[in-house]
Amino acid sequence: MSLWYFLSDWFAGVPTLGVLFKRFMINVAWACILLFVMLILQLPAEYAAVVYFGVLVANCVMGIVFALQRAQMRD
């Protein structure tokens, strides 16, 4: 499975609320791993804040896109 296939599947339309939740949790898991590595390397807290809020923004955008897609499907 190529990276392009994975990314196109990841950013494609989210079919169900369960898939959206799974993608949220995968993003959070990657952020937790990255934050733990940053803790081990003792990087500045500003970097950790960027990772934390970046995941928050990415999940919010995915949720908004999901809501817009669902509203468009109903029309």
pLDDT tens digit string along 23-64? 889 889 999 999 999 999 999 999 999 999 999 998 888 888
Q: Give the pLDDT of residue 70.
A: 85
Whether the model clears a pTM of 0.75, i.e. scores above it, the answer is no
The DSSP secondary structure of the chain, one letter per residue, reads --HHHHHHHHSS---SHHHHHHHHHHHHHHHHHHHHHHHHHT--HHHHHHHHHHHHHHHHHHHHHHHHHHHHHH-
Q: Give the pLDDT of residue 50.
A: 94
Q: Give the pLDDT of residue 65.
A: 83
Instruction: Determine contact, residues 59/30, Cβ cutoff 8 Å.
Output: no
